[in-house]
A and B are shown apart, each in its own frame.
Chain A
Amino acid sequence: MKTRITIYHVFWMLLSGVFLFAVLSSAAAVWLTSRPYLVQSQRDAAEILVEREAARLDQRIEPVTSLSVYIASEPQLISFVMGNTISIDRTLDRLDDLSLPVGLRQIYFFDYSADVIARYDAPIRPDALGAPRRERLDAQAGRLAERVLGTGMQQSSWMAAEARGTVEQGQIMIAVPVLNGGLPEGAVVAVADITPGTDGPGAARMGALFKIVDSTSSEAASADHRVQLAVPGLTMVLRTDPSLISRIGQELISSTVLAVALALFLPFAAFGWAGRHTILKPHADLEASRNKLRAQQKELTELASIARKAEEAILITDMEEKIVWSNPAFSRMTGYRSDELIGKKPGALLQGPNTDQREVDQIRIALESTEPVRVELVNYSKLGFPYWARISIAPLFDEQNNPYGYMSISSDVSERKAQETRLREAREAIEHQALHDELTGLANRRRFNAVFEKRSLFHGAAAIAVIRIDLDHFKNVNDTMGHEAGDHVLCEVARILREEVREKDLAVRVGGDEFIILLEPGADIKRACFVAETIRARITSPIPYDGKLIQTGASFGIACSGCGLVDAPDLVRAADSALYAAKSAGRNQLAVYDEQLHRSAIETRDTAELIRLGLGRGEFVPYYQPQFDAGTRKISGVEVLARWKQPDKGLLTPAAFLDVAEQLSLLNELDRMVTEKALDDIKILEHAGLAPPKISFNVTADRIADPELVAMVSRQDLRQTRISFEILESVFLDDRPEYLDFALDLIRDQGLLLEIDDFGSGHASMISLMQVNPDVLKIDQRLVLGAPDSDVCRDMVRSIIDISRSLGIAVTAEGVETPEHADLMMEMGCNTLQGYHFAEPLSFEELSDFLRAGHSEMVDNSSEGAAGAQ
Chain B
Amino acid sequence: MLGYLLRRILAAIPVMGVVALFVFLLLRLTPGDPAAILAGDNATPEQLERIRTSLGLNEPIYIQFYTWIVKLLHGDLGVSLISNKPILEMIGPRLEPSISVALATIILSIVVAVPLGVIAAWKHGTWIDRFVMGLSVLGFSVPVFVIGYVLIQIFAINLHWVPVQGFRSISAGFGPFFERLILPTCTLSFIYVALIARMTRASMLDVLGEDYVRTARAKGIGETGVLLRHALRNAAVPVITVIGSGFALLISGVVVTESVFNLPGIGRLTVDAVLARDYPVIQAMILLTSGIYVAVNLLIDLAYTLLDPRIRY
Binding between chains A and B: no
Q: Which residues of A contact B (CB under 8 A)?
A: none
Q: Which residues of B contact A (CB under 8 A)?
A: none
